[in-house]
Structure 1
């Protein structure tokens, strides 16, 4: 039983890794952009995770862990920030390769405006809860920066589609983690509203995690293209 979280991590990355050599997507050729994006984002979210453990926002059930930890974080939780982003960037690239036509291009800015409004509203009502405050505050900052500060990279319509598809494995994986539970949430630090066993905030936590990864991935990719053209 103490291998559950580790096995979940392996299951998350297994098929995306094997299929990375698909000739149409050719994902393995993009690892040079994927790896730095995942590592930089992973550092940010590991700091976030450490803070939340210290603030008792969430904790981990030792019955489902192998017992290896660093700075108080289980090894499996650290692997989570490698396996999940890798799988989701893979989904992002697969959708772009197999379905280049994307109707969301017409609506992505409106969706971003709506999300910024939602973040602001939830921050107004839930600012006293650590998970709610940091989660929606971080998403607001990252989303605003992507749409309005560094507006040369136009990928949000592709990101929203990938996010919607990523919700399918998200409900499976996070459903297991929160139902068993592997991750134990302190409901005093969130809105105490769940979709099944998954806290409402987790949906936007996933969005922040993926948005930062995809932004950096696209940034490193665009920079390499500029170098080739110069």
Structure 2
């Protein structure tokens, strides 16, 4: 079971942030044309960074905690990490934006700002 720990952690990250899609209407998964380029940029930039780091032996991955499936020299889990964390970041960003917009609209309805110029 230890070999799936990294992947299980990624599943937990998705499960923790997935409610934001529905409860706060983050609409990340529903806007594929906007989501895919965002995730792709992260995967490409950090994927290249990782490949260089792995090739130069700057870091390695403990075989006890990964499945052993590799895409070239990169473990599958590392690619999954880039995709999952990008999606979690987008969901968090959109969720926070939704909450901030809600309170901003609510404040305007209640009489505006209490700031004095």
The TM-score, its normalising length taken from structure 2, stands at 0.77
Distance 1:23 1:53, change over 3 A: closer
CA distance in 1 between partners of 2:5 and 2:24 (Å): 33
SS of residue matched to 1:59: coil
Deviates further, 27-36 or 37-46: 27-36
Query: RMSD value over aligned CA atoms?
Result: 1.9
Runs of 4+ more than 2 Å apart? 15-19, 21-32
- Identify the residue that residue 32 of structure 1 maps to in structure 2: 33
Distance 1:39 1:82, change over 3 A: same
**Higher helix content, 1 or 2:** 1
1:41-190 to structure 2, matched below 5 A, reads 41-100=42-101
Larger Rg: 2
The TM-score, its normalising length taken from structure 1, stands at 0.41
Does 2:13 match 1:12?
yes
SS of residue matched to 2:81: helix
**What does the per-residue CA deviation read over 1:167-224, in whole Å, with 9 as the maximum and x for residues that have no partner?**
xxxxxxxxxxxxxxxxxxxxxxxxxxxxxxxxxxxxxxxxxxxxxxxxxxxxxxxxxx
**Count of residue correspondences:** 102
Indicate if the aligned counterparts of 1:21 and 1:28 stay in contact, CA closer than 8 A: no
Once the 2 structures are TM-superposed, how far is the Cα of residue 23 of structure 1 from its aligned partner? 5.7
SS of residue matched to 1:67: coil
Distance 1:41 1:25, change over 3 A: closer
CA distance in 2 between partners of 1:27 and 1:44 (Å): 21
Indicate if the aligned counterparts of 1:38 and 1:82 stay in contact, CA closer than 8 A: yes
- Contiguous gaps of at least 5 residues in structure 1: 103-230
Distance 1:95 1:71, change over 3 A: same
Indicate if the aligned counterparts of 1:21 and 1:27 stay in contact, CA closer than 8 A: no
Once the 2 structures are TM-superposed, how far is the Cα of residue 21 of structure 1 from its aligned partner? 2.7
Q: Which has the higher contact order (CA 8 A, sep 6+)?
A: 2
- Contiguous gaps of at least 5 residues in structure 2: 105-117
Indicate if the aligned counterparts of 1:9 and 1:83 stay in contact, CA closer than 8 A: yes
